[in-house]
Homo-oligomer: A and B are copies of this chain.
């Protein structure tokens, strides 16, 4: 280790240091640059990996073959950032934040050289790290995460080199079900092993059951309520099977999709405030609480859930981009805030669309809310129009007030994005009664005369009225 100078800034300019070169960090850097030129603001960004500003959400579609090549997932390369006068240091890991000294220590991963870089303003965008099972074999050849582009490439290399066609996906959240689709598209026999009662634990179990049934109908073997107890490897060290307490599932390749945690090792060591989910806590301007010159955004922070009033951790590119915009505006001398989320998420498995926003039943209980829950079935288009498909909409409304609390949708084409109606209504604090009057787009190719979300709202109104006491 060669410990060099602290790289001081020249007096005239402010220096912004950004830790993390993906969505939140580089959006912040780009937006700050838009507002303040290189004469006023120096920007130094550290990225330990090989890529910047890429869509991690797109990895399943690249692995599955829908996206033909990796570079399509890269929104902006290091060179493009540098052309905008952003001083990017690739393959350089920040190893320490010295808050009192207003500097960060970094290590060049190739040379091992370390140095300190001082900052006037700091943006922490260290992202999330995938949860890996604490089991022997979790790092065996043939076992893959899909968090980064490098992960995706490694998985594709394994698929190309593997003759067997049996794949096991561990986890049945967004990444798990999307990877199941990817592997089906690649011609694998897919088994999804899932710890939860049903797949998609971001839904209530009754809605998750619909996903279970639909995925089985696609030929996917669904194993619920199953904890992985062993990752069995062969004599060559490669993965051979996934074992649970009850059974063993042969595997030529294993994909881990059991979620992510905020990557806040640096922040924790620096004494920055973390929430109960391990993410950084910020104010509404995305400034780390109690720290006037440190901002944080993306997968490493907790966000305010506007429905429950509690902090949550949600790793999602769309939030990371918004955070970056807000941070960049504030760092660049403008003003913007990120008020919070309502917890909207959409996904698909082959032609099955899955969406949710707001609170599930257990979230509502936890938040101390009493509610009515209703479920309806309707169609994506007028019933008589070709390719009208069924969708199930579940809606939660607060008891007495009738305020919308959450919506979950499982269906086929046209189901998922309908959740946006509820997402906006939640943000606006609408009641289900107000929703029944919403003037939504209607024409037979696009909706029944009562949109499925309105059908659910009508049923929720009836439930709230019935139990008004």
**A binding-site residues for B, Cβ under 8 Å:** 23, 55, 57-58, 61, 66-67, 72-73, 174, 178, 316-319, 321-322, 325, 337-339, 341-348, 355, 357, 382, 384-386, 414, 416-421, 423-425, 427-428, 430, 434, 436-447, 449-451, 458
Contacts and interface: CB of A to CB of B under 8 A. Distances in A.
B417 A317 contact: no
Contact of A437 (B339, B441, B450): B339
B439 A427 contact: yes
Contacts of A419: 441
Given A66-B385, A420-B421, A441 B355 contact: yes
A438 B417 contact: no
Nearest to A413: B413
A321 to B, nearest CB: 5
B442 A316 contact: yes
16 contacts: A55-B444, A57-B449, A61-B444, A66-B386, A67-B386, A341-B439, A346-B441, A346-B447, A414-B417, A416-B441, A416-B443, A417-B418, A420-B441, A420-B451, A424-B428, A427-B434
A385 B72 CA distance: 9
Given A72-B384, A384-B67, A417-B441, A346 B446 contact: yes
Given A61-B385, A417-B418, A421-B421, A346 B443 contact: yes
B348 A443 contact: yes
Contacts of A338: 437
Contacts of A355: 441
A419 B321 CA distance: 22
Given A444-B58, A449-B318, A439 B73 contact: no
A287 to B, nearest CB: 16
Contact of A321 (B57, B337, B417, B449): B449
B440 A420 contact: yes
Top 7 A-B residue pairs of the complex, sorted by shortest distance between their CB atoms: A428-B428, A346-B441, A318-B442, A424-B424, A72-B384, A341-B439, A344-B439
A151 to B, nearest CB: 17
A450 to B, nearest CB: 6
A285 to B, nearest CB: 12
Contacts of A343: 439
B55 A449 contact: yes
Nearest to A62: B384
Contact of A449 (B23, B357, B416, B450): B23
Given A338-B437, A339-B437, A414-B417, 4 more contacts: A325-B436, A343-B439, A346-B442, A348-B443
Nearest to A58: B444
A439 B321 CA distance: 12
A74 to B, nearest CB: 9
A73 B382 CA distance: 9
B445 A423 contact: no
Contacts of A384: 55, 58, 61, 67, 72-73
A347 B339 CA distance: 34
